[in-house]
Amino acid sequence: MLKKSIRHDWQLTEILELFQLPLNDLIFMAQSVHRANFNPNQVQLSTLLNIKAGACSEDCGYCSQSARFKTELERQPLMAVETIIAEAKQAKANGASRFCMGAAWRNPKTKDFEKILEIIQLVKAEGLETCMTLGMLDAKQAQQLREAGLDYYNHNLDTSAAYYEKIVSTHTYQDRLDTLTNVRKVNLKICCGGIIGMGESLQDRAELLQTLANLEIHPESVPINQLVPVAGTPLENTEKLDPFAIVRCIAVARILMPTSNVRLSAGRAGMNDELQALCFLAGANSVFYGEKLLTTDNQSTRNDQQLFKRLGIVTSYE
């Protein structure tokens, strides 16, 4: 496939056919697309910091931060600016090129928003790209984030529209799409993907990727997360995902969205080096880098550095 073969009219039958290809054929196709658009031996590193933990009013069934579930997560108010900047400096020293910050809100409140804008400006001043995930945004908030210098806004769709109501009831799929619209209208880049392993069908995964790939502009970053079951949440006893399912999902995402960064995200702590290498072969070219994601463990930076060296992978920061 050539670099210019970007489509926004993918049919569900086409995507299901990709998912059902023999794994070798699917990976070969995905790697061919990847090589046409990226350095196949380069990975972008993002570090994610939870700047406000717990007490969220929403009922996302996978999330330890919902106030509706009894989890062991300790609630934490919005971090001090100085603490966040110190974390950003450390992330940069460790090799990250993007600093992503998450706050467990349905949507940001006015009393916190000025501080958020200040944080963006200060992190940018450290020479890092900035990304925020703050819940749903209205048009004015999106514009303010853009003016503060935000580069990316993360707002995942999680799953298909059909399966979504089995995961979340406190807001709708359209609410999420509306936030993406508000973000895109002010020319912010979008980080948007989903979670697999929540009990969804193969068709649900295909429909999720279809929705992303048929947006007017593909998300610049597409995180593919595996469910990390958290005790106390409705999905704590969900059946473990077949490891090859994540490889297939990454490969199909790469084919559908050739110029997007496809990020190997939550669940990576439970993956061995061989499975991660297979994901890179299938088209993943970004990872969350650092010991912790929002609330779950991640691969250590030491392990990542060793793996990249063994695979001959360089980072976009180098």
The pLDDT profile of the chain, 318 residues, written as one tens digit per residue, is 445 579 999 999 999 999 999 999 999 999 999 999 999 999 988 888 888 765 676 777 777 666 566 666 566 767 888 899 998 888 888 878 888 888 877 777 888 888 899 999 999 998 888 999 888 899 999 999 999 999 999 999 999 999 999 988 888 899 999 999 999 999 999 999 999 999 999 999 999 999 999 999 999 999 999 998 778 787 878 888 899 999 999 999 999 999 999 999 888 888 899 999 999 999 999 987 765 554 455 567 788 888 999 999 998 654
Domain ranges of the chain: 12-315
Helices of type H across the chain: 12-19, 23-37, 81-93, 110-124, 139-148, 161-164, 173-185, 202-213, 243-256, 273-281, 301-311
Note the pLDDT of residue 45: 85
Q: What is the DSSP letter of 270?
A: G
Architecture of domain 12-315: Alpha-Beta Barrel (3.20)
* Strand, coil or helix: 136: coil
Q: How far apart are CA 135 and CA 205, in angstroms?
A: 22
Ramachandran category for residue 127: left, alpha or beta (phi over 0 → left; psi -120 to 50 → alpha): left
| Chain centroid offset of residue 239 CA | 22
* Strand, coil or helix: 52: strand
Angle at 181 between CA 178 and CA 184, to 5 degrees: 155
| Chain centroid offset of residue 177 CA | 16
Burial of 134 (0-12, 13-18, 19+ CB in 10 A): buried
Task: Answer for the pair 142, 188: CB distance below 8 angstroms, yes or no.
Answer: yes
Q: Please say whether the dihedral angle defined by the alpha carbons of residues 177, 182, 185 and 189, taken in this order, is positive or negative.
A: negative
Residue type for 317, please?
A: Y
Name beta bridge partners: 196: 226
Task: Answer for the pair 223, 156: CB distance below 8 angstroms, yes or no.
Answer: yes
| Active site amino acids | 56, 60, 63, 100, 131, 191, 263
In tens, the pLDDT along 84-139 reads 999 888 888 887 888 888 887 777 788 888 889 999 999 999 888 899 988 889 99
| C-alpha distance from residue 273 to each of 102, 118, 232, 310 (Å) | 27, 39, 30, 10
Q: How far apart are CA 190 and CA 226, in angstroms?
A: 20
Note the pLDDT of residue 148: 93
